């Protein structure tokens, strides 16, 4: 996305499904975050199977340490992520996420695709 300066690093991609792995993510905010909303879609083999939305920042909702950050500030996260999935069935999986602020402006968006055609 030409509107974002975003970096993501994942250690040990081969172990993502069953183990804890470390990620590093960084961005420079192009918009302030007084309020922040997330909308996520999970698409399996071309069909949307799950849609999820939640308020992450706002009056009475401060779930993230970067709530209240201003335009131009840096955001950085480094730490472990555990999916705890024992087996991923064969197919194409897409996870789409969009973060919008109080002005309905996209603060960040990402789409991750996993294609699994391995027999376990």
What CA–CA distance (Å, rounded) separates 95 from 114? 9
Is the pLDDT confidence value at 100 over 80?
A: yes
Q: Which fold is adopted by the domain 7-116? A: Immunoglobulin-like (2.60.40)
Lowest mean pLDDT segment, chosen from 1-5, 65-69, 83-87: 1-5
Q: What percent of the chain has pLDDT over 70?
A: 77
pLDDT tier at 28 (50, 70, 90 boundaries)? confident
Per-domain residue ranges of the chain: 7-116
What CA–CA distance (Å, rounded) separates 105 from 37? 10
Handedness of CA 120, 80, 113, 7 (dihedral sign): negative
- Quick count: other Cβ atoms within 10 Å of Cβ 103? 10
pLDDT tier at 118 (50, 70, 90 boundaries)? low
Check residue 80 and give its pLDDT: 82
């Amino acid at each position: 996305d030409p509107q974002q300066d975003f970096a993501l690093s994942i250690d040990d991609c081969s172990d993502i499904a069953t183990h804890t792995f470390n990620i590093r993510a960084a961005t420079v905010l192009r918009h302030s975050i007084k309020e922040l909303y997330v909308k996520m879609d999970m698409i399996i083999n071309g069909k949307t199977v799950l849609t999820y939305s939640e308020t992450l920042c706002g009056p009475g909702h401060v779930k993230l340490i970067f709530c209240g950050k201003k335009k131009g500030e840096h955001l950085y996260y480094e730490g472990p992520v555990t999916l705890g999935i024992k087996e991923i069935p064969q197919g194409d999986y897409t996870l789409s996420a969009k973060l919008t602020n109080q002005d309905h402006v996209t603060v960040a968006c990402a789409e991750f695709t996993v294609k699994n055609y391995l027999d376990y």
